[in-house]
Amino acid sequence: MSIPTRFLRHPLRTGAIAASSAHLADALTEPLTLGLADVIVELGPGTGVVTEFVLRRMRPGARFVAIELDPVLADSLRTRFAGRRVEVLTAPAAALPDLVDAPVDAVVSGLPWTCMSRPDRYATLNAIGAALAEHGAFTTFAYGHAAWTPPARELTGRLAEQFTHVTRSPLIWRNTPPAFVHYASHPRRNVRGRRPDDGMDETAGTDGTDGTDGRIEARTLTPEA
């Protein structure tokens, strides 16, 4: 099942209009030093383009969990990667801390952030922060043409609040549409995020990106009622 087909049938669930290119998949996985990670999670793997790059880069003995909300795509992933070292779970990304109980070293995301409601975005970012180890890192992408939109700017602000180190890659032209990668590492401890700006247009634009016992206590970001 292709990403364009799933997008046409379930645009709010799928978000992306095309599968990630190999160039974007490389940019999403290269900064995460997956060869040193013990536990790796992919959120929104879609058809498995990025999944393939993770499998190539992860070390023997590492645990790799892919969490996909769309049951059709999840079943396709299980078939494609049968017998390989990836566990495919059908669940919302915000359930991450309940699905993977060990501290996660790396999270790579293809989630459609601007197709999600604001409470779901906050819950998912909080879940990522809660699951990551102290040294953990997170990558996600955004389409370049929509970087100015309120949801895309809000995501950038959330990352800066929730992580100690945040960078953005140059625009990756060899992707449809061109996109850049957000990299964030070292989740902050015990810091409460500010509320979203009043009057922000929840529906404006889409960037297609597509939130303790021995774990990081991530800050709680609280959406508006």
Q: How far is CA 144 from CA 67, 179, 204, 222, in A?
A: 25, 5, 15, 27
What is the per-residue pLDDT across 76-92, written as a single tens digit (0 to 9) for each? Answer: 999 999 999 999 999 99
Q: What pLDDT is recorded for position 98?
A: 96
Report pLDDT for 20. 86
pLDDT of residue 204: 38
Query: Which CATH architecture best describes the domain 3-187?
Result: 3-Layer(aba) Sandwich (3.40)
Any idea which residue has 């819950």 for tokens?
123
Q: Which two tokens stand for residue 109?
A: 């995301």
The per-residue pLDDT for 9 is 45
pLDDT for position 181: 97
pLDDT at 115: 83
* DSSP 8-state code for residue 15: -
CA 142 to chain centre: 10
Distance CA 131, CA 101 (A): 8
> Which pLDDT score is estimated for 17?
53
Supply the DSSP symbol for 127: H
Tokens of 96: 């991450």
pLDDT for residue 2 = 42
Q: Kindly give the parts of the chain with pLDDT less than 70.
A: 1-18, 189-225
Tell me the average pLDDT of the chain.
82
Are residues 10 and 203 in contact, defined by beta-carbon separation less than 8 angstroms? no
